[in-house]
A and B are shown apart, each in its own frame.
Chain A
Amino acid sequence: MLDTVAAGLLHVLRRVGGRTIAIIGWLGYATRFSFAVVRETPAAFSRLNLTLREIYFSGVLSLVIILVSGLFVGMVLALQGYDVLQRYGAAESLGVLVALSLVRELGPVVAGLLFASRAGSAITAEIGLMKATEQLSAMEMMAVDPLAHVVAPRFWGGIISMPLLAALFSTLGIFGAYLVGVKLIGIDSGAFWGNMQAGVDFRYDIVNGVIKSIVFGLAVSLIAVFEGYDAKPTAEGVSTATTRTVVESSLAILGLDFVLTVFMFRGVG
């Protein structure tokens, strides 16, 4: 009886130990990969046409979903915000409410989540398929480093695109709120823009929002290129890697948002 229990415990310990070692090994590999990608930064910018192409694929081709989402989020925010504010006679503060919500939180976070779903998954699928079809091996055999030629341009393309997309999301959101608040509900236009101008601080609100979007862009891009590069070279492997990119990126954005918010906005407002 005791022998059976001991054997069972040993089995569990072995599994836990094996799993822990595997996780540590994976983290080490991911860290080394990240450093290797950053090391190839000069290569990404010396092949500027490649990086510009990735900005087009990650940024320009994400515009439709980002702009439409931004517009509707702003409009809904205005409707919901007006409903609450008018109870306290503060409907004129709608502009500042919408602007702060978008610039501080919703712009970077929602744009980041959309970016992860649209561009992050595409980057992972593309790199994973290149691996599955031996294009990365072919590049290596031609004495061209895939990290420099394939991974680094996509990584930097994502980092550059993300803050621009977040800014456009917030801009369209504010425009949507203006349409609903001023044109539809009838809030005074001067109060809407004036309160917004007075209530939004460039350093605390806008710069911090931009920093958030850069950090989210970095996280999503790094996860996307890593998962693609690390994907099993099969159809199932690429599919799994793509799913992991979306899930990991979304969780990373939400977690990082909390941490960044704690440090950025404590004691403010």
Chain B
Amino acid sequence: MSDNAPGYNAAPLNIDPMSAPQAPAPVPAAAHPQYAVELADVTFAYDRREVLTGISMAVPHGGVVGIMGGSGCGKTTILRLIGGQLRPKSGKVMVDGKSIPDLDREALYVMRRKLGMLFQFGALFTDMSVYENIAFALREHTDLPEELVRDLVLMKLHAVGLRGAARLMPSELSGGMARRVALARAIALDPMLVMYDEPFAGLDPISLGVIGQLIRRMSDALGITSLIVTHDIYESLKIVDYLYFVSEGRIIAQGTPAEVRASGDAFVRQFVDGNPDGPVPFHYPAAPYRADLFARA
């Protein structure tokens, strides 16, 4: 997608960590039904600890959007809000034009059939074979005959290059293979949206490239909307159309890959260049070093 890609609320890269979040303005669902996912001024807290503050973002149908930020900044919480596993304290979470927090249990489950999620370490069912893992959702939600289920499972496995591993158990798979099986499982029901939680974590370079390309190809070939939560800047920049940077629960920057690469902002530069210290400090907040060292004296 070009730098002026339509559908992303794509204001120019707007970065100012010290000011209020410069995320796109909340977009009413009815006015922009083309968005697969919309978050408008979302705030979320675990008990009294606020994790997300004023998060607004929009993901158009068929787009590949990344959410980037350091560990514990609230990225995965955004996915859980979209999937309805958590409820926001305030703000709107819309998926395909429906407000997720307002859905009752039955309607939420109907909505989830349109969603796929790839968990950080695959979350494959360990008591089922690769084949059974992928057939699971098909058997639960459809009345397809077993022959058709078999064909669909093999097609999904072929798409991720693991048709030959159908009879293996999850314990027999490498990390990269497990992630690919989880991807095949996530697309088993041909979802509208697939959410990826750290899909690149802990993979060797080959598996990393394979997963990245699979995500992009799935999106291009099947028209699936993809939302990727990651801290891997290099792989993300290769495949996403648009990136949001999250820090301490706020969106502090956003832009297309070209805008991110060209950015002079200290936070984005720290991420892109992998600097150990910067706006995201190397040291966890502590008392002055000297004071700590001589505290016993």
| Interface residue ranges, A against B (CB under 8 Å) | 130, 133-135, 137-145
- Residues in B with CB closer than 8 Å to A130 are 126
Residue pair A142, B140 in contact (C-beta under 8 Å)? yes
Tell me, in angstroms, the Cα distance from A140 to B125 when the chains sit together: 13
Residue pair A140, B123 in contact (C-beta under 8 Å)? no
Residue pair A137, B113 in contact (C-beta under 8 Å)? no
Residue pair A143, B113 in contact (C-beta under 8 Å)? yes
Residue pair A134, B120 in contact (C-beta under 8 Å)? yes
Say whether B174 faces chain A, with CB atoms less than 8 Å apart.
no
Say whether B157 faces chain A, with CB atoms less than 8 Å apart.
no
Closest approach, in angstroms, between the C-beta of A26 and any C-beta of chain B?
16
Contacts A141-B83, A142-B136, A142-B140 given; does A135 touch B112 at CB 8 Å = no
- Residues in B with CB closer than 8 Å to A134 are 119-121, 123
Say whether B39 faces chain A, with CB atoms less than 8 Å apart.
no
Residue pair B109, A137 in contact (C-beta under 8 Å)? no
Tell me, in angstroms, the Cα distance from A178 to B176 when the chains sit together: 60
Residue pair B137, A144 in contact (C-beta under 8 Å)? yes
| Interface residue ranges, B against A (CB under 8 Å) | 83, 85, 109-110, 112-113, 115-117, 119-121, 123-126, 136-137, 140-141
Residue pair B83, A133 in contact (C-beta under 8 Å)? no
- Residues in A with CB closer than 8 Å to B110 are 143
Residue pair B140, A141 in contact (C-beta under 8 Å)? no
Residue pair B125, A137 in contact (C-beta under 8 Å)? no
Of B113, B117, B141, the residue contacting A138 (CB under 8 A) is B117
Having A141-B83, A143-B137, one finds 13 other A-B pairs with CB under 8 Å, namely A134-B119, A134-B120, A135-B124, A138-B124, A139-B125, A140-B112, A141-B115, A142-B136, A143-B110, A143-B112, A143-B140, A144-B136, A144-B140
Tell me, in angstroms, the Cα distance from A137 to B120 when the chains sit together: 12
Contacts A133-B126, A135-B123, A135-B126 given; does A141 touch B141 at CB 8 Å = no
Of A135, A143, A145, the residue contacting B141 (CB under 8 A) is A143
Of B117, B120, B121, B124, the residue contacting A141 (CB under 8 A) is B117
Q: Name the CB-closest residue of B to A150.
A: B125
A-B contact pairs, 18 of them (CB 8 A): A134-B119, A135-B124, A135-B125, A137-B119, A138-B119, A138-B123, A138-B124, A139-B125, A140-B85, A141-B83, A141-B85, A141-B115, A141-B116, A141-B117, A142-B112, A142-B136, A143-B140, A144-B140
Residue pair A141, B126 in contact (C-beta under 8 Å)? no
Tell me, in angstroms, the Cα distance from A133 to B112 when the chains sit together: 20
Contacts A142-B137, A143-B141, A144-B137 given; does A137 touch B112 at CB 8 Å = no
- Residues in A with CB closer than 8 Å to B117 are 138, 141
- Residues in A with CB closer than 8 Å to B121 are 133-134
- Residues in A with CB closer than 8 Å to B137 are 142-144
Tell me, in angstroms, the Cα distance from A134 to B136 when the chains sit together: 16
Residue pair A141, B112 in contact (C-beta under 8 Å)? yes
- Residues in A with CB closer than 8 Å to B123 are 133-135, 137-138
Closest A-B pairs by Cβ, 7 of them: A134-B123, A138-B123, A143-B112, A143-B109, A141-B117, A134-B119, A142-B137
Tell me, in angstroms, the Cα distance from A137 to B141 when the chains sit together: 17
Q: Name the CB-closest residue of A to B119.
A: A134
Of B85, B115, B136, the residue contacting A137 (CB under 8 A) is B85
- Residues in A with CB closer than 8 Å to B116 are 141
Q: Name the CB-closest residue of B to A126.
A: B127
- Residues in B with CB closer than 8 Å to A139 are 125
Tell me, in angstroms, the Cα distance from A134 to B113 when the chains sit together: 18
- Residues in B with CB closer than 8 Å to A145 are 109
Q: Which of A134, A135, A140, A143 has the largest number of chain B CB atoms within 10 A?
A: A143
Tell me, in angstroms, the Cα distance from A9 to B124 when the chains sit together: 52
